[in-house]
Chains A and B, each alone.
Chain A
Amino acid sequence: MDVLSLSSSSSLSMCKPFQSHGLPLSKQQRVSNVKFGAVSCRVTTQENLYKVLSVSPGNATMDEIKRAYRSMALQYHPDVCHDPSMKEESTRMFVELNAAYKTLSNPRLREQYDTELGQRSKVMSVGVDHERWRGSKLQEEMIEVKTRSRRRMAQKRGISGTRMRSQNMKDRH
């Protein structure tokens, strides 16, 4: 459990992670559910991936991330959840856990995510609906061809900007 106590950023009671992550009851989740019924079936909420795994964003090591993933899997994998009424919830939670782990356990994806996380908080502060971040394979491939140079980073910001704009345009339709 020493891993979980590292989650200083969220200062949450770790014995009740369901509540602490706010997953079953969060508004975001509800929004996502409505969306699913309506349009899409994406399950990933806008939760911070570090919070999903209960690790510290700044300095969690790979080993800590792996251990956090395993210990949470042991608690929330549908195979170890024997309350039938919670099965669906634990499945959803685990899918989310996987998405978080997939990103944070890959150094390149993690770096990319950290950058986006920085941008996201900026974007959110000006009140724009932020782009959902997904660790899809395509995205992974996209990242693999990217270099880490400043010039490229600037370019990437440009792309994100375009995406954000098209999102805005859509909203206006």
Chain B
Amino acid sequence: MAEPAYIVTSDSETTGEEKPSTFSEIAIGIDIGTSQCSVAMWSGSRVELLKNTGNQKIMKSYVTFKGNTPSGGVCSQLSHEDEMLSGATIFNMKRLIGRVDTDPVVHASKNLPFLVQTLDIGVRPFIAALVNNMWRSTTPEEVLAIFLVELRAMIEAQLKRRIRNVVLTVPVSFSRFQLTRIERACAMAGLHVLRLMPEPTAVALLYAQQQQQNAHENMGSGCEKIALIFNMGAGYCDVAVTATAGGVSQIKALAGSTIGGEDLLQNMMRHLLPESGNLFQNHRVKEIKRMGLLRVATQDAIHQLSSQTSVQVDVDLGDGLKIWKTVDREEFEEVNRKVFEKCESLIIQCLKDAKVEVEDVNDVIVVGGCSYIPRVKNLVANTCKGKELYKGMNPLEAPVCGAALEGAVASGINDPLGNLDLLTIQATPLAIGIRADGNKFVPVIPKDTAMPARKELVFTTIHDNQTEALIIVYEGEGEKAEENHLLGYFKIMGIPAAPKGMPEINVCMDIDAANVLRVLAGVVMPGSRKPAIPVMEVRMPSVDDGHGWCAEALNRSYGASLDLVTLQNKA
């Protein structure tokens, strides 16, 4: 019987508990980056990266729409540059997935050489590829799924068997809603997500394995080592602080932001052609071509600036528009000063959250495509008080190797030599809580809590005889509720009539090992030990597309009538 191409695991489109498999299939590690992608798996004795038919270990993440059969960067032999100029190629889907059209990241994507249209009303953006002079609409999930189907075919051809379970790496700053979109894309491609691993935690696991091997070789005691991991790719920048010993990587803190090589590129494009934003507004065929040309030229210049101190940019954009300019490294660094400052602040924040002093860091690891940029290496080393950077890892392959290790561990594979006696104790990258105390975000599970986690907080009513309460669940770090990602909401009904402040409303949040979040709410009246109404259990995220509207709509309809406050003496 053929396996269904679409595997829907639940109504909410998220993956549930792992189903017990009849045989121990090793989950494949996949690192889909904003611009590049790689695949690796545990081969029985070590992690091996899989190559495509073009003998590449690192493949470009894009999909080209042509006629009826879109093709991705896995096996496409055409040069990326040519395709990019035509408008038929969609890339950067990792930056667009799960975002609404009011998101600044989506707005910044409007000068990519394909169509990203925003109506600025909080719905998903309109994304389309130019095929035979027609805009063919698509979604980031679809593009990712097409790419994954191609990737899956490549892996299955090499392994000569079907694959199903995968471990994917994701940016630290992804919201849980964005994670469901990644899971959705995998389901569309017939893949089951065993784990979604924040990228630096995958690197941390590889580091844990390396440390364990060193400890074996040196007969060392395997004492605790603290590592700071800085990962900057095209789309995202992530930082993790991990404490490692005996093969266990304990994530102490995570920090992440949507800044990356794409920002460096766009800032440079604006620097080379200040009116570029206006020039490309209408997305005519000629404009798309110009956009592509400028992009390629700028990208080349940035790459060259990693090895040389100045570069000559010489590009003819057509119709007499030419750019002929010498750019030196200082100029590039100045144009992107804010991006680099943000990187520094992420490192400082992560160390602070981990309660680790720079002096106590044993190793500083820099990975990701941007790790080749001298300024990036310098800023990490300087922020870590000039510590020498760790040399034992390939900056482009480390995350996927970590994902492959996690895949083997989570699939229950044993290694007789003990190379898989590993474990990652993950931490929540963002706080999860509810709107209460006015318009505040009150975390129930704080940021950097070890997972699986279960925490609760007690709230109470703000009006006399308030019989209903709205539980609006957010995820993030913002103080005000609306500064965070909305995950879902539900109403508690039938609270017994009582003076305000009397009913105890227990809100409990539970994250299991598969990172599934459940929110439970119950009502207890003082003096009673039994709940006044049945406990409600809601799996989150429960929001769908257009969720940007929901919080506003709730506020408009209910105001503060169903609000809650934290019960101080119970907190």
Contact = CB atoms under 8 A, between A and B. Distances in A.
Interface stretch (A10-18, A38-46, A47-55, A149-157): A38-46
A39 B504 CA distance: 10
A71 B423 CA distance: 10
A79 B424 contact: yes
B452 to A, nearest CB: 5
Contacts, number: 86
A24 B412 CA distance: 23
B115 interface: no
A70 B425 CA distance: 10
B531 A39 contact: yes
Chain A facing B: main interface SS: helix
Contacts of A173: 526-528
A94 B526 contact: no
Interface string A155-173: 0000000000000001001
A129 B248 CA distance: 37
A98 interface: yes
B421 interface: yes
Interface in B292-310: none
B246 A80 contact: no
A77 B453 CA distance: 12
B224 A91 contact: no
A102 B529 CA distance: 29
A40 B456 contact: yes
Q: Place the interface of chain B in its size category.
A: 35 or more
B20 interface: yes
Contact of A84 (B20, B508, B522): B20
Nearest to B425: A73
A87 interface: yes
Interface in B530-571: 530-531, 535, 571
Interface in B468-521: 506, 508, 510, 512-513, 520
Contacts of A102: 450
B524 interface: yes
Contacts of B412: 82
A74 B450 CA distance: 14
B531 A38 contact: yes
A74 B246 contact: yes
B410 interface: yes
29 contacts: A37-B535, A38-B529, A38-B530, A38-B531, A39-B522, A40-B456, A40-B524, A42-B456, A43-B454, A66-B224, A66-B245, A70-B248, A71-B246, A73-B248, A74-B248, A77-B423, A77-B425, A77-B513, A79-B410, A79-B424, A80-B409, A80-B423, A82-B412, A84-B17, A84-B20, A91-B452, A94-B452, A136-B455, A136-B571
Given A43-B454, A74-B421, A84-B17, 6 more contacts: A41-B506, A63-B223, A63-B224, A70-B248, A80-B409, A94-B452
